[in-house]
Structure formats: structure tokens, C-alpha cells
Chains A and B, each alone.
Chain A
Amino acid sequence: MSKLSRRSFLKGAGVATGAAIIGASPLSAAAESEQAPELVANPSQLPKEPLVAYVRDAQKAEVTLLVGTDEVTYRDPALTKRLLRTARPRKHGAGEVA
């Protein structure tokens, strides 16, 4: 599994490829840009089989993807950085869970 590319892994799992997705539908190309993430006030319903990504080790830039019954961990400094930046504490607002 570790020899697979992220793109081929996601494709094999029947998921459209893109950047990090946390319990969400496939991202558009815009989401891969460096623009600031947009808060979603009314998120879509929890999917039956969510794609889950989490930062396993921020120092080592390890990100784990769970898709269907597959699991794979990548070293992806850019994705790790983007996730950590998005996850920075902020004042709670629409679309956020306190």
C-alpha cells in the first residue's frame, strides 16, 4: 500500500482525487489553491462512508487517509501545513462546533 500514490489510492477506492478531505465530498480545483478556507454554515449530511484524513504526526508531516476499508499514510508537508493552518484556533463562528 505504501508504494501507491495518493492519487491511485483514492482512484482505486472510488473517490475523486484532490487534496485533503475531511468527511467531505470531492474538492474542486479551487480547494487545492492556497486561498483561505471558507467556513460552511450548514454542512452536508454525514456520509455513510466518509473519507477521513488526519495528521498522524505533524513533525514528520504524516497524513493518514481512511477510504472505505483501506488505510494509507503519506508524508506530505504541504498538506500537513495546510491542515494545521486551517485547524488553528479561532473565534467560533458559523459552521464551527464549539
Chain B
Amino acid sequence: MSSHREAPEISKDPVADSTDVYAFVSPDHPDTVTIISNYIPLEGPAGGPNFFEFGDDVLYSLYIDNDGDAKPDITYQFQFTTQVQNANTFLYNTGPIGSLDDPNWNRRQFYSVSRTDRKNSTTMLSDNLPSPPCNIGPRSTPSYAGLAAAAVRDLASGETVFAGQRNDGFFVDLGSIFDLGDIRPLQNLHLIPTPMTASVDTLSTFNVHTIAIRVPISMLTKDGSVPTDPLSGKAVLGIWAGASRRKVRMTEGPLHSGAGPWVQVSRLGNPLFNEVIVPMARKDEWNASDPVDDNDFAAYVRQPELGKLLPVLYPGVFPHLAGLTASRDDLVAILLTGLPSGIVPGFQNYTGPTLADVLRLNVAINPSSTPNALGILGGDLAGFPNGRRVFDDVVSIELKAIAGATYPLVNASYTPDGAVAAVNGYVTPGAGRYQSAFPYLGLPHDGFSTPSP
């Protein structure tokens, strides 16, 4: 599910498990880019008394490559510190939390933000920034929107940041897809058929912990410009996230210590890459590796396992896909190099021949006034795989692509199977999932009323 619990080791370490990464030109501030990385998959909103929080012993990183070499030129890093106000209570809060410094709020997190440039020079941008509490319910967090808004902070260096709980904007029919690849609109045609039923938005009641930063475009491009020509190479940014832990962790009673270098345990660029493309035996290795080395995994993109499974799971439904044995250069372009000029009129997000799983955002493409959740497949150049917006239907897009919808981009004689059209936004996210202002993901569900009593 995008990247929730996508690899064996990281599934045991939720606070370091990056679930989704988003990168898009901010619709309400089009001179900026917003980058979001979510952590802690499947947060049940009622999960107290020790409600969810970031890991104090995790280094959270956002990487930006602005010269196409798949190596970070700019890195933003976030580190958290937890403070307990009252050591004599088991309670997260001892009364309603009315503000970010309310004495009723017992367990709080603060964080620092630093920026490292290509010369490995690091600047601490700010520290002691407050993360809002989790959304507990009407007695504990009666005015949650105000608490969350107070945690959005403008930094003197020009960025805007937020780190805290939000609802999970990712939508997918999880129970179906993991049941031997069932795609509910086609389930009556599955090898093990079941009667048609409505699709389920499995994550509609779950929260995540979000790290979001909005950065002026001029602070991200190589030459400090704000590109206006979509066909210019300097208009494209490569973006991904990583989470790291110290190499050694020591525990003695209630004390914990770390030693040694930070070791990456989670990374994420394109949704579903590690989850659906990389074989299980190599998923942990992939998480520990860097995009610049993704040539090691390119074979799984050229011949994706799911592309071979679909014709087997749905006998007779994907005959053209069954006969497609050539290298899937369309998927290589979408996931590993970006689309070069000449494929989609007026668009490119090509970063060069280095194969790397990163989101590629062309910042010269303006935000769409009439966005289509199918992104470029839906004729909306501002959506995935041009970066990724919070509401992009990446499951449908990638399923359609793997099923052959994008192969005509590299071989015009190929005709996608008719069933590909059925994989078209078959899950619709509910209201309140997103908001129009930073950090764009909607307020977290509260534990009292989710699921509804």
C-alpha cells in the first residue's frame, strides 16, 4: 500500500516507516514546492494512552536532486525531542488541551530542522518547533484545527514547516488487492471469482504522522531560478525521503543510547516501488540503498512481476499484456529516468540516464485549476508522475501502467487490453481527506468518533 509496511524489517519499525512521499507545486503558493513525507502506517485514532509520535532516535530526511545525478544537492533533516511535563501521571493530558503550551498537555514533541547543501554544509534553520498533540476527542482536543494551525511555522530562512498527525490521504482497496491481487471491478473475472461488490477505501479512518515543508522554488533549483519553460532541464527536481537510525542502540533500564553513523532503514520515492516492484528478499536491501544505485533493481521494472501475474489471475482478460514480453521501457521512463521530451506534448521530467527511483517534479508546470486524480494519464500535467499530489490516484495510475496502458508511449503498435479501462479510480476518497492549504492533508481523525460510536 504505497509504502506502508512494504518491507519485512521496516514493518516492525513504524516510526521510521515512510508511508508516502508527495512533491508538488503548492497550489496556493505557486512560487513554492511542498514536500511531504508520512510515517507510522495505520495509526488507529484511538491508539492511546501512549498516542503516536515521531521517533526521537530517528533522523528524518528529505532529499532534493537538482542536477540529475540522483544524489542529494539539498537535504532537509528533522529530529524530534519528547518532553514529559508531569512525571506522576499516566495520562497524555490531564485536561483539555487548548494551546500548544497548555499545562494540561503532558507529553509533547519538539523538533529541529536543518538544511544541508551539496558541499555538505549544514545550517540549523530552527529548533524547538512544536508538534501538535494527537487528535484525541472532544474533551481532550476540543479545538483541534486551532492546535494544528498553530503548529504551522514560517522559518526565517523562507520555508514553512509542519510536523504532526494528519489523516492518511492515501486511498486503496487494501483488503482486496492483497487477497491474491483482486481488483474489485474485475473480481468476477478473477481466477478465484467472487460476486461483484463495491470497492472499499480501507485507509479512510486511519491517521499518519506528517513531515511537511514548503520551500520557495528558487531555493531548490540549481541556479536559484524559477523556471518557466517546462522543457528546460533545470525545471526538474528529483525528490525522495529517507529515515535513519544509529548503527548501534544500547538499552539499560529506561535509558537508551545510540552510537555510530546514521544508517538508512527506510526510503521512498515513487509510490509502490518497493512494495510492488522489488522482490521480498531484496526489499530491506532496497530500503538501505540509495537512488543512485537503483540500476541494481532496474530488472524488476523492465519485467515487472505484477505484469506477468495479471494475465494469470484474470484468465483471458489481459491477452495483450500476456503477449508483452519486451522490456517495459515505458515503466523505466516513468519510474527511473522521467519522461523525455516528445512523449507527452509540452511536458518532460527527464533527469538523465541515471536510473533512480525518485519523484520527478517539473516545477515549470503550473498547478491545475481542474485537477484530475489520474494525473498525466488523465491529461493533467501537474499530477503524478509529475511529482505527486496528495489526492493523486497513484494505485489506479500504476496498476494501469503495469497492465499496459503506458506501453504505447514506447511502442505505438501496442493496444492495451480493454480491462485496463476498468482500473480507473475505483476507490474514491471521502470528504475531509485533504485541505486546500498547507500541509494539504486533512485534519487527523479523532479517537472518540472514529469509527463512529
Contact = CB atoms under 8 A, between A and B. Distances in A.
A45 B255 contact: yes
A66 B261 CA distance: 8
Interface stretch (A26-34, A48-56, A76-84, A85-93): A48-56
A66 B255 contact: no
B252 interface: yes
Interface in B104-137: none
A69 interface: yes
Bin the interface of chain B by size.
10 to 19
- Chain B interface, DSSP helix/strand/loop, else mixed: strand
B93 to A, nearest CB: 28
B250 A66 contact: no
Given A45-B255, A46-B255, A71 B250 contact: no
A67 B260 CA distance: 6
Contacts of A71: 247, 260-261
A52 B252 contact: no
Interface string B245-280: 011101011010111111000000000000000000
Nearest to A65: B260
Interface string A50-76: 111000000000000011111100000
A17 B344 CA distance: 61
B259 A52 contact: yes
B124 to A, nearest CB: 16
B261 A69 contact: yes
A66 B257 contact: no
A78 to B, nearest CB: 23
A46 B261 contact: no
A70 B250 contact: no
A69 B255 CA distance: 19
B252 A66 contact: no
B257 A49 contact: yes
Contacts of A23: 250, 257
A50 B250 contact: yes
B255 A52 contact: no
27 contacts: A23-B250, A23-B257, A45-B252, A46-B252, A46-B253, A46-B255, A46-B257, A48-B257, A49-B259, A50-B250, A50-B257, A51-B259, A52-B259, A52-B260, A66-B247, A66-B260, A66-B261, A67-B259, A67-B260, A68-B259, A69-B246, A69-B260, A69-B261, A69-B262, A70-B260, A71-B247, A71-B260
Interface of B: 246-248, 250, 252-253, 255, 257-262
Interface of A: 23, 45-52, 66-71
Given A46-B252, A46-B253, A70-B260, 13 more contacts: A48-B257, A49-B257, A49-B258, A50-B259, A52-B248, A52-B250, A52-B259, A52-B260, A66-B248, A67-B260, A68-B259, A71-B247, A71-B261
Closest 6 CB pairs of A and B: A66-B260, A46-B252, A66-B259, A52-B259, A46-B255, A69-B261
